[in-house]
Amino acid sequence: LNLVLYAGHGEFPRAIFAPGSPEEAFHAMTQAFFIADKYQIPVFVLTDQYLLDSVTTVSSKDLKAASNKQHIVETAKNYERYALSKDGVSPRGIPGHGRGLVGVDSDEHDTLGHITESHLVRLEQHGKRLRKHVGIAKEALSPVASANLKKAKTVIVTWGSNFGVVEEVLDILADEYFAHVHFPQVYPLPAEGKKMLSKTKTIVVVENNAVGQFADLLGREYGIHISERI
């Protein structure tokens, strides 16, 4: 988790998904393609051997793609690949589709794609890219919560393949004071997740790493106290 969350030369917006079931993997993957295309960002989908070795049956009627909308524009003669925008997303053209010249560059650039070392242009372009985070967060996949969440005194939080494990444990335990909140998307964290966890005194995060990487992220992003890490 920390590798995909923090790796890179400088800051850039990204989205990270961690499905907990084959059905969830389908929805997460289609959402990943949609978000990557719409916001022009790298997107990560984290799985593990446990999930990949699982066998299950899923009804095809429950599998629907997030969106099939295309985000390529037909360029005008005065087209600017990296035009400044309020939401941080510049219009994306491709060569030959329209009259505009499509110039792209991986170094810092102006609106036309020309390399620049201007600190003013750097501030404009970098600020523009970071503004994408707002829209990406608004379209985050919602956490999955137990029906008894409001009554529960202890909430167990999972991400990734621990979803089914904890669901089975709680089913065997059959205690209404234990609830489960599962995050199929771990970054950006959805706003409703904070509402689900903010009124609970005891939060236990179960994850497949030694130090509690997602627990750290929850504490930082939501400002909540994690009672225990497993």
CA distances 177 to 145, 147, 197, Å, are 13, 11, 14
Region 103-123 average pLDDT: 95
Q: Cite the beta strand spans of 111-213 per DSSP E.
A: 144-145, 154-159, 178-183, 185-187, 202-206
Question: Is it the case that residue 200 has pLDDT exceeding 80?
Answer: yes
In the prediction, which pLDDT does 108 show?
95
Question: Is it the case that residue 65 has pLDDT exceeding 90?
Answer: no
> How is 79-97 classified by DSSP, letter by letter?
--TT---TTSPPPB--TTS
Instruction: Using pLDDT thresholds of 50, 70 and 90, give the confidence band for residue 9.
Output: confident
Instruction: Using pLDDT thresholds of 50, 70 and 90, give the confidence band for residue 61.
Output: confident
Question: Is it the case that residue 66 has pLDDT exceeding 80?
Answer: no
Distance CA 158, CA 212 (A): 11
Least confident segment among 63-72, 176-185, 210-219: 63-72
Distance CA 186, CA 190 (A): 8
Mean pLDDT of the chain: 95
Token pair of 102, please?
């499509």
- Which residues does residue 17 pair with via DSSP β-bridges, in sequence order? 45, 185
Q: Cβ–Cβ contacts within 10 Å for residue 140, how many?
A: 22
- How does DSSP classify residue 1? -
Q: Are 140 and 105 in contact (CB under 8 A)?
A: no
Instruction: Using pLDDT thresholds of 50, 70 and 90, give the confidence band for residue 119.
Output: very high
Distance CA 64, CA 109 (A): 38
Question: Is it the case that residue 60 has pLDDT exceeding 90?
Answer: no
Q: Cβ–Cβ contacts within 10 Å for residue 206, how many?
A: 21
In the prediction, which pLDDT does 190 show?
95
In the prediction, which pLDDT does 182 show?
98
Region 188-215 average pLDDT: 95
Question: What does the pLDDT look like over 214-227, one tens digit per residue?
Answer: 999 999 999 999 99
